[in-house]
């Protein structure tokens, strides 16, 4: 599909029926240490992707529907390699590519030209998840959030976020929040006036707890916390040990 058509398709597909996610979730769950293979393409991107992040300051990409996994891939960092020339580029997942096959990645144009000539348009790729580098994760209450309808997003996390649970501060029981395709965890009946405690779990089972968070809507709330590096990794170490492994 051409780059302009692909972008238009993605914008039209911003909402999908929940039942359509089952196949994608089954494909992607538990594949965060694997090397993935597919095709790389590019499109023009300057923000406004399905992950609902602010305009990016670095290189980004849109993840195929299966590996997007109901927005679980949002904010993840991956290294994409062109096996034809050995060039690699690191990108953050900011968007979803509904028409992409499993394993495919739709790179922003600036990222694509770091590994291939623009005129190639579509190339075979391999890719792996890596640790992102932000020093501290942050929380963001979506505009319109209030005590009766509350949506929260986790930003600047080292590894993909699997779940978010909350409780009123001073209580004991956490309640897991459902995640929407636009990458917010939503309490449709609200969370009350706050403050709140949050339990944030990454795809490897690591947990960060944040306490006494006020309902401060529309601003990044730094937590001074981050998921630990796995197994003594350096920040840039690839999670998979098989970056260049054959298919």
Q: Are residues 40 and 106 in the same domain?
A: yes
Question: Do 101 and 92 touch, CB atoms closer than 8 A?
Answer: no
Q: Are residues 102 and 215 in the same domain?
A: no
Neighbours of 88 (CB within 10 A): 18
Question: Do 205 and 218 touch, CB atoms closer than 8 A?
Answer: no
- For residue 53, the domain's CATH number is 2.40.40.10
The alpha carbon of residue 5 and the mean position of all alpha carbons in its chain are separated, in whole angstroms, by 23
Q: Are residues 114 and 10 in the same domain?
A: yes
Question: Do 150 and 187 touch, CB atoms closer than 8 A?
Answer: yes
Q: Are residues 19 and 113 in the same domain?
A: yes
Which pLDDT belongs to residue 48? 81
Query: Which of 101, 130, 159 is a domain's end point?
Result: 130
Q: Are residues 16 and 117 in the same domain?
A: yes
Which pLDDT belongs to residue 28? 36
Q: Are residues 174 and 222 in the same domain?
A: yes
Q: Are residues 51 and 115 in the same domain?
A: yes
- The whole domain housing 206 covers 138-228
Q: Are residues 21 and 86 in the same domain?
A: yes
Query: Which of 130, 154, 173 is a domain's end point?
Result: 130
Is residue 235, in this structure, part of any structural domain at all?
no
Q: Report residues of the chain scoring pLDDT below 70.
A: 1-30, 232-247
pTM for this structure? 0.83
Which pLDDT belongs to residue 233? 52
Which pLDDT belongs to residue 211? 98
Question: Do 224 and 136 touch, CB atoms closer than 8 A?
Answer: yes
Is residue 188, in this structure, part of any structural domain at all?
yes
List CB contacts of 86: < 8 A, sequence separation 6 or more: none
d(CA 72, CA 186): 14
Is residue 219, in this structure, part of any structural domain at all?
yes
- For residue 161, the domain's CATH number is 2.60.40.760
Structurally, the chain folds into a number of domains equal to 2
Q: Are residues 107 and 179 in the same domain?
A: no
Supply φ then ψ for residue 35, to 5 degrees: -90, 130
Is residue 142, in this structure, part of any structural domain at all?
yes
Which ranges of 143-213 would DSSP assign to H, the alpha helix?
A: none
Is residue 247, in this structure, part of any structural domain at all?
no
Tokens 């495919």: give the residue: 104
């Amino acid at each position: 599909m051409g780059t302009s058509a692909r972008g238009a398709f993605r914008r039209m597909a911003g909402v999908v029926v929940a039942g359509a996610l089952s196949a994608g979730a089954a494909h992607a769950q538990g594949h965060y240490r694997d090397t993935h293979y597919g095709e790389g393409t590019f499109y023009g991107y300057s923000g406004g992707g399905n992950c609902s992040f602010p305009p990016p300051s670095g290189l980004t990409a849109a993840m195929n529907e299966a590996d997007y996994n109901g927005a679980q891939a949002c904010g993840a960092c991956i290294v994409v390699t062109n096996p034809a020339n050995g060039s690699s580029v690191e990108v953050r997942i900011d968007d979803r590519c509904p028409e992409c096959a499993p394993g495919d990645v739709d790179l922003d144009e600036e990222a694509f030209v770091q590994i291939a000539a623009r005129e190639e348009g579509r190339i075979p790729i391999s890719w792996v998840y890596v640790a992102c580098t932000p020093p501290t994760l942050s929380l963001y209450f979506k505009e319109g959030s209030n005590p009766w309808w509350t949506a929260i997003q986790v930003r600047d996390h080292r590894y993909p976020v699997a779940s978010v649970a909350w409780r009123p501060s001073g209580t004991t029981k956490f309640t897991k929040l459902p995640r929407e395709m636009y990458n917010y965890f939503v309490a449709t009946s609200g969370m009350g006036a706050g403050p709140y405690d949050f339990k944030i779990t990454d795809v490897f089972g690591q947990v960060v707890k944040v306490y006494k968070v006020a309902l401060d809507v529309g601003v990044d709330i730094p937590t001074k916390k981050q998921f630990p590096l796995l197994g003594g990794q350096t920040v840039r170490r690839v999670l998979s040990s098989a970056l260049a492994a054959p298919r």
